[in-house]
Structure 1
Amino acid sequence: MDEAPDNATRYRAGLTVRRSVLGDPHVDRAEDAATDFDGPFQHLITEAAWGTVWARPGWTKRERSIVTLALLAALGHDEEVALHVRATANTGATRDDICEAFLHVAIYAGVPAANRAFKIAKDVLSEMDGGEGADDR
């Protein structure tokens, strides 16, 4: 079995993956806004979520993106759903992938959760296309 990377290595790997998925502007904003109070949290998610889980071999960024969208939608984490819909521009997950993920959410986590996720995704995708959100039309 391979030796586990040390914390600094996981953090550096996590920062690279986080930037590649969420984009430099988002990560820069998060790092710039970090304080002594929430800085340890920013470090934790970079190291653990991005450097340990997202950096693992076996699944592509597209696959991780699809699963992440479904989980966030099922749990009702609306802001994170929007963030990760935007991230699909970097992960290779398609609009069809997003739709399929949310259809699974409807069956396994409930129609209201999927309904909300579809609304959020429609708004975000419209913004990404240069249009207005669905509520602005």
Structure 2
Amino acid sequence: MSDRRDEGMATRRRVLGDAHVDRAEARTTAFDAPFQEMITEAAWGHVWSRAGLSLRDRSLITLALLAAQGSDEEVAMHVRATANTGATPEEVMEAMLHVAIYAGVPRANHAIGVVRRTYAEMGVEP
């Protein structure tokens, strides 16, 4: 294993939590192992582990980008990760307002529904 992968795995666990990462690792097959290795090293090791932005800031940027793409499951996963990154519900809503202006009201409206449901599942009152 590379140092970048090790650093990526540590950051991935810090952001998503051990339980989530353990479930993902347990579901990994020979078919998707190359993808798991790539995202651990590239996304988590090369980008999320950089010192230029806080995990909170990266969390908000990621949520806005995922919402703009309509990636519901990923939005929900990264809303759950805010418990680890420190992004508040108020800050997440600010990110969704940016999505509305720069990616469109329908995308933001839909993502806000995903965010609300995810917070409800987490027992968080936004």
Letter aligned with residue 67 of structure 1: I
Report the structure number with the largest CA radius of gyration.
1
Equivalent residue number for residue 73 of structure 2 = 79
Kindly report which structure 2 residues correspond to 1:92-107, keeping only aligned pairs within 5 A, or say none. 92-107=86-101
1:30-78, Cα deviation, whole Å (9 max, x unpaired): 1111111001100100000000000001100000000000000001100
SS of equivalent to 1:127: helix
Q: How does 1:1-137 map onto structure 2 within 5 Å?
A: 8-129=2-123
Q: Which has the higher contact order (CA 8 A, sep 6+)?
A: 2
Structure 2 residue identity aligned to 1:75: Q
What's the Cα RMSD here?
A: 1.2
For 1:121 and 1:129, the matched residues in 2 are separated by: 12
Amino acid at match of 1:68: T
Give the secondary-structure state (helix, strand or coil) at the position aligned to 1:17. Answer: helix
Deviation at 1:12, TM superposition (A): 0.2
Code of the aligned partner of 1:44: M
CA positional deviation for 1:25: 0.8
What letter matches 2:9 in structure 1?
Answer: L
How high is the TM-score relative to the length of structure 1?
0.89
For these two proteins, the number of residue pairs brought into alignment is 125
Q: Which runs of 5+ in 2 are unaligned?
A: none
